[in-house]
Structure 1
Amino acid sequence: MSTPLALDVDSGLLDVSGRRVRPAVVWVRHGSACALMAQARPAGSMNPLRAESWSGFLRQVAATADAALPGGTVVGPGQLAQARRLGVRTPRTVVTNDVPAGAREVGAPTLVVKTPDFRLFEPDRRNWKAALPSVVGLEAVEQGPGPAPGVAGERPVVVQEYVPHARELRVYHLDGGICAFEVRKPDPSSPMTDPDSVTVTRVDCPPPAAEAVRTLCTAWNLRYGAFDLLVSDTGEAVFLEANPDGDWLWFERKARWHGVSFMAAVMVRELFVRSTS
């Protein structure tokens, strides 16, 4: 970045090309060093030191603001353990680089094998195939030649119980407000491999799903989050993941409804008014 920037840690003032401002609301998205390196253009232009320096700078700017988004939460499968302790149902999950062993540990007849957020850290679509989520049977995994195709010991993956369900939801939490979409897809990898086969519909959030989202956001002090949930045949909400950096524009375009963008703008405005009043 060629723009001169300087943050006075003592006063909290941010100097941008000679203009001093006091950050009131800061929303850092995809600001980790790994994400900055992966998304840099041209590819390879961001080395680890530069990426970590910018990531640290963004974290420090957010720390000086009165309101910082998205909020605090553990990221990754550790969310599931915390959710269970809060009374929210989750699928049995193992993180492993030995898929057959992980499948036996989970013990479910049908499993989901996935690499969370792989698109953020692997911008080259030609390398996505090995990371695409898949539904596999326990017997097929055990009879295979080794760990799941494409991931044979090279990195840990998530091996998860497949939960039969009536509905799949993407639920957005925005400072207390909730927006929900119902997602129908022929395969877990369809959004990446065949997006035209995926249908997204704006729906009212079922009360059990809304309660689960609010419970987790309260526990995690999370102002914003994109939640993936299932609804069982009995109406019970099953929590899969909360992404504090989750995007919404793709879902809005598919559903032809732009309420999340409106609520995001309202949220930032209200946070600004609160922090400056």
Structure 2
Amino acid sequence: MKTILIISNSMDIHADLISPIFQKKDQTYFRINLDQFPRDYKILQKYTGKVSKVIIEHIPSGNFIDLNTVGAVWNRRPAPFSFISNDLLNQELAFAKQETEQALFGLLYPLDCFWVSHPVALRGAGWKGEQLNRARNFGFEIPASLVTNCPEEVLKFKSLIRSDLIFKTLSTADLASGSVEDNERVTDGLSTVIVDEEMMENLDAVREIPCHFQEYIQKKYELRVTVVEDAVFAAKIHSQDDERTRVDSRDMSAEILYEATELPEHIKDRCLSLIKSYDLNYSAMDIIVTPDDEYVFLENNPSGNFLYIQQLIPEFNILEKLAATLSREVECRT
């Protein structure tokens, strides 16, 4: 019987909640928590002649998986590796991470199975500047955008747009807080913000790293569009009903309405075409609908969270759809 491989971390509630669904289906699965890898795992990759043996064992439980039996992979969430020694020197730690990454993905990349989604596809889909260009090529409107480390270019850009200027991160809104120890963390993150006069007076800081600026798009409401294979779950977010979410809807302290909605057929087709162009079987897109009912693409999140959407819109069955898709693909390969 073929097995589903889940790649995530020990804090991922998405992976926690899909496990009982697999158990009810009598579907075998094996989970790798990257924040405990390789510390709590034993790996073996051996080639002798035309025979290959590729095993990953979870040491505390004794459970193991023969990667030759994998029929589908849910490549859910990355996490920093963990090692037996906590006192590795900086160079030792850097080398340990590189060797572990080589070893792990040397095991995983050869898997000829169904992926949600393959690391190569995820990597290619994650560049925000490229996303904007591709979305425009698929017919989406996009905000006027600027990525630069030149303060003078920011001034020119601001003079060209007719709305407020916003700043948003390119990589992660948590400002890499998850990549450092607790005692080294200086902030938990930064929301999308409108650039005010004080920020304009300190534009020299832009010289330090490339920064991402966009024109502020007026919103009627926002959409979180989650795609699982060919299924589209469109969540209408009433972000303009609360001051805390007018600029950035990710402030979950505001009890704004989330509701299911149907996309116009041409917008749905664009979303599916965009996702499929990256060879993704899952993704989550953020889209603005303007007061003039124009759909403006913001970004694509190839490993974006979806559980909060399902919790806020109970009729959505994203987790169940994902589990059914993975199980079906495993059966096809049994």
Displacement, 1:199? 3.3
Indicate the residue corresponding to 2:330 in structure 1. 272
- In structure 2, distance between residues paired with 1:247 and 1:50: 29
- In structure 2, distance between residues paired with 1:111 and 1:44: 45
- In structure 1, distance between residues paired with 2:132 and 2:87: 34
Give the 5 Å matches for 1:136-215. 136=195, 140=197, 144-147=200-203, 153-185=207-239, 186-189=245-248, 191-192=250-251, 195-215=253-273
1:119 equivalent among 171, 174, 178: 174
* Structure 1, 224-233 or 253-262: larger mean CA deviation: 253-262
Instruction: State percent identity of aligned pairs.
Output: 19
1:135 equivalent among 189, 194, 208: 194
1:86 equivalent among 122, 133, 138: 138
- In structure 1, distance between residues paired with 2:175 and 2:258: 22
Check the 8 A contact 2:125/2:302 in 1, yes or no: no
Check the 8 A contact 1:171/1:205 in 2, yes or no: no
Displacement, 1:251? 2.1
Indicate the residue corresponding to 2:115 in structure 1. 68
Displacement, 1:255? 3.0
Q: Which runs of 5+ in 2 are unaligned?
A: 1-38, 58-63, 240-244
CA deviations over 1:178-197 (Å, ceiling 9, x no partner): 111112333334524x5234
- Report how many aligned residue pairs link the two structures: 264
Indicate the residue corresponding to 2:295 in structure 1. 237
What TM-score do you get using the length of structure 1 for normalisation? 0.79
* Closer/same/farther in 2, CA of residues 105 and 120 from structure 1, 3 Å limit: closer
Check the 8 A contact 2:138/2:270 in 1, yes or no: no
* Closer/same/farther in 2, CA of residues 258 and 152 from structure 1, 3 Å limit: same
Larger Rg: 2
* Closer/same/farther in 2, CA of residues 195 and 53 from structure 1, 3 Å limit: farther
Question: Which amino acid is 2:271 matched to?
Answer: V
Check the 8 A contact 1:212/1:237 in 2, yes or no: no
- In structure 1, distance between residues paired with 2:215 and 2:56: 49
- In structure 2, distance between residues paired with 1:178 and 1:272: 22
Q: 2:268 is paired with a residue of what secondary structure?
A: helix
Check the 8 A contact 1:191/1:198 in 2, yes or no: no
RMSD between aligned alpha carbons?
A: 3.4
Displacement, 1:58? 4.3
* Closer/same/farther in 2, CA of residues 19 and 237 from structure 1, 3 Å limit: closer
What TM-score do you get using the length of structure 2 for normalisation? 0.67
- In structure 2, distance between residues paired with 1:44 and 1:196: 42
Displacement, 1:203? 2.3
* Structure 1, 84-93 or 104-113: larger mean CA deviation: 104-113
Q: 1:191 is paired with a residue of what secondary structure?
A: coil
CA deviations over 1:231-265 (Å, ceiling 9, x no partner): 23343322111111101112222334451111111
- In structure 1, distance between residues paired with 2:319 and 2:278: 23
Indicate the residue corresponding to 2:28 in structure 1. none
1:14 equivalent among 41, 54, 73: 54
- In structure 1, distance between residues paired with 2:330 and 2:155: 48
* Structure 1, 158-167 or 11-20: larger mean CA deviation: 11-20
* Closer/same/farther in 2, CA of residues 197 and 56 from structure 1, 3 Å limit: farther
- In structure 2, distance between residues paired with 1:27 and 1:12: 23
1:36 equivalent among 53, 57, 80: 80
